[in-house]
């Protein structure tokens, strides 16, 4: 479970914090209290995967694969802005599977990308 400062910052957004989920389904070990007193939910990888609505495991895996390997769609000769969200491959941009899945969820559901410090519309 990623509890890094980067992942906490990535999760501290209304799109993730306002996910409709019964409070009893949120394990205490996935909640962290910041120095400011604010409580932030840190979704586990399985919880992030459940947020993707593509029916079936194969569809979800295919979409995730295409997100991780953006270079499949965007050859190296194309300008970076047109090549993809995170350059050649998103998997080299993030430090954990939770960060990578969170970036995928935000792209698929909210059309946002991580700038390194905040979520921006793509």
Residues 6+ apart with CB under 8 A from 64: 52, 101, 104
- What pLDDT sits at residue 87? 56
8 has a pLDDT exceeding 90:
yes
Higher-confidence position of 5 and 91? 5
- The full set of domain ranges for the chain reads 5-111
| Bridge partners of residue 114, in order along the sequence | 119
Question: Using CA atoms, how far apart are residues 60 and 53, in angstroms rounded to an integer?
Answer: 8
pLDDT tens column, 67-89: 887 655 444 444 444 445 565 56
Question: Using CA atoms, how far apart are residues 72 and 56, in angstroms rounded to an integer?
Answer: 22
Q: Which of 44, 3, 5, 1 is nearest to 26 (CA)?
A: 44
pLDDT tens column, 26-69: 777 789 999 999 999 999 998 898 888 877 888 888 888 888 87
Taking residues 7-33, what's their average pLDDT? 85
pTM: 0.80
Written as one string, the DSSP assignment of 46-83 is: HHHHHH---SSHHHHHHHHHHHHTGGGTS-TTS-HHHH
């Amino acid at each position: 479970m990623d509890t890094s400062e980067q992942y906490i910052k990535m999760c501290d957004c209304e799109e993730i914090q306002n996910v409709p989920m019964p409070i009893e389904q949120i394990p205490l070990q996935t909640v962290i209290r910041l120095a400011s007193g604010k409580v932030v939910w840190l979704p586990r990888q399985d919880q992030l995967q459940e947020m993707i609505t593509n029916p079936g495991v194969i569809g979800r895996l295919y979409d995730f694969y295409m997100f991780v390997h953006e270079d499949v769609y965007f050859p190296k000769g194309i300008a970076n802005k047109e090549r993809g969200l995170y350059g050649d491959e998103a998997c080299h941009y993030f430090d954990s599977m939770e960060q990578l899945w969170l970036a995928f969820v935000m792209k698929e559901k909210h059309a946002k990308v991580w700038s390194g410090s905040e979520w921006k519309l793509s």
